[in-house]
Structure 1
């Protein structure tokens, strides 16, 4: 099975294979990044939501503390009113009497209660209960039903245990005769007689829930969350509106009694909630915020949905980019494959556009160079064959009757000897030897020694022309003399030196011919101190030697022919180089491979 999938993958075309690989290289990191992002995002969202909800609970607690501080300040009015305390004591001491004194005391208490009700709109009614269980009540709604004045004994326990501090009693329903039942909670304290040091009764401020309702309206825990307030004894003081079933308070309070400050995840009535509470250090009240946990996860889910959309967009963009990249890679390869097929069929004129300097561009350039070289080699071989045929034809023409020419020259030489013309005889002898060297044999290669001998005959003839206008020095190492060189390569160079060096300069010219072996190559130098060339002429000659298509118009044509023959046989690494200084002379360096006769068969 493994081999099957490997074979299947190997057989896929390169473009879809590259697209699959690019997409996989992008998809897997995206999935990994998405997973890590989800967990990090969820943790961050939970932290932020918890921090926000905690801040909300603190804000509710602060608002509640300010409200209770206001109620506590109002309750202090009973301590600051010595007349109220005296009237309560007077009534308790004359509890059986109904005289004018008691009536005045009751009226004074009613006046105090009216004064308290005018201080704030947040108190629905107020009660003072004396130690002899007499109750004095005032309400903004009128009379209160007596059966609702006394709270359950369990609710009064915190007040009974107190020592004069403010006590908050939990929510209950106040039933008025001329108003609908109203939920209230009580802020109460014991009344102290500062003269005797004994408690003489209780003050109860029945506070409406308007302030807490306003806080609830201004405060929202998520979309479907809610909050509530517990007293220090875990009794429900207030609960914001919610969609829970009736009786949820008792169940939830029992679940949360062991919870501490901070945040927790709790399950209640089949729903998971993020539970955050804040306990007031002043009142001991617990403000509890309940946020459905699904709202927390929905925030993370939205992030994941956005990430998935973004990931899909990135993946599609990656597929598009990978298709373009794959096409940019595969298309040149396909073009090269088509070009190779054409070259294989014999079309060596085909080329592949080399786009850019990358590997494919270099490969295309190398292919074009290879095809060009192959074409050049084929053309070179064709030219060599053509030149060989032409040379053979010329050789045949020159050999029509060589003996007649030799015999004629020999007759002239003998006549010169008879007439005692030794110079003419010598010249004829040199000319005959040059002629025999040029047209005899079919070998293209001769030893350097034979080539120098041929040049010596040529220089002897030129001496007849120029007389003492030049001198010749030949220095060749014994090892170099046995090296094989192309036939008739030195004569055109020496002829060029005489023609352009001697004829254009006054005075005697020294012509030096030197040969030596360096690094496996044969170096031959033909140097003169003749007229030399200026920079423009030297540049023209050098360019003609580098470009075989350039023409020298008869001048230096021999040099160009020698250069072409050498590079045609040995390659462009060999040939001649010319250095010249105007009015100082010229040096032609000929570089050939140092080869013996055995290398040429």
Structure 2
């Protein structure tokens, strides 16, 4: 780690190092200050978060207490309303259908009174379902019979407990699956309170139960100001209801750890939560809030964040001002560095514009003087190399021309001596073309199609000179015809093939030229005598020597003369650069193949 840090610092520029030191001198004190401040205020923040959570639980308890008191009020109304209790006692004492028939009108009136009472109760306890079940099986509800049959209450496991309650005691039943059919789609559970209806004379004459759906509890637990989990547990630790912020995993963890924690910070799934509990005053149930600790202290931290924002803004202002001033001073060094990089890439026309008398200005002026001196040296070297190249081309051309003219003139002389015919005129015509292209100093580069024509004339002349006829076949693509190459680069290769490859028999020479993806390829293939391996190695070695001087003495009768191939290689290398490639492949008694690969980016369109 230390080595990496040292390498990183070493790789920085002088300006970056100065900036880094200045920034660290500002950041480190600020970080130290905030760390000490955060440590000293941590306990105070936690205590304030607990107090805030307790106040929230107290407010939620009041809301739940209001709902529960409304349910108890309903039971008390049924128990103590004189008219309603008298009707219920009367109805509970009717045992057979004869009594009902004899008092039919009175029964109808009583039924109406009971329903009116229940409707009045429903208005007081909205969204509450009231059930009154008498001993003789008679029942009254504020909901339709199809929603739930009150007789089924006798099958509930808690129903026998009602008969054992003393005085006006009630039992709270939760959690309990919804009994009202229409509510099951939206409410899985319900909360109920029930008590027996008793009188000192009649004893227990019936039972009353008030039920609310879970959504009323969820609405209270999920009020607008609550943004964390809250759950309601019964005496057995079972979940009665929870709000939308509490998932199943958190609910399970709460029920497991509630016995160990009351008001503290606990860790669940690697995350800290602030847990707070409160016992409900009416039911004896527990109300629990579970809030991520970061969320619990968010409001308190908002004050600290404001302070942090103000201090950070002040810090940034001073930091920006410091960086601006330092960059203003050190940018001249950066400019000098950028200019040096351009010089490394080959741009020697750049110059610094630094002014002044300080060290950076003196260094900049020295840099400009050095570039001026380098440019002068490059110009002198370029002029020298240009003259040298012209001299080399002239020398190579001079090597080729005398050798070529001597052979052709000797052939014409021998032909004229032996035979005075029309062939002599054709030979002289072909020779004149060759002489014209040879002595024309203004045509160093000629189109490829002209080079092909020259070699047709050359082969015609050589066939007259030689005892055996050699046929020149040409297969070139149209896009190669206008490519310009140095004149007379194919002639030495074809001449070597005729003289050394077809000395004792006739044959053919195949010229193939193609252009593809910026590469111009020329192949000269013959079916002559070929070369031995040592001759082929010697020719290839001559290509690898930058200043190779070919051996003028050719090996007569076998293989190629290295003078022609070396001269061609040197001329093409000087013309097309180091990317030019020339290969020679040969097998004894099978022939020789010379391949030239020329990089050319742009080619004139074929007319």
| TM-score of the pair, normalised by structure 1 | 0.42
User: Could you say which structure has the larger radius of gyration?
Assistant: 1
| TM-score of the pair, normalised by structure 2 | 0.41
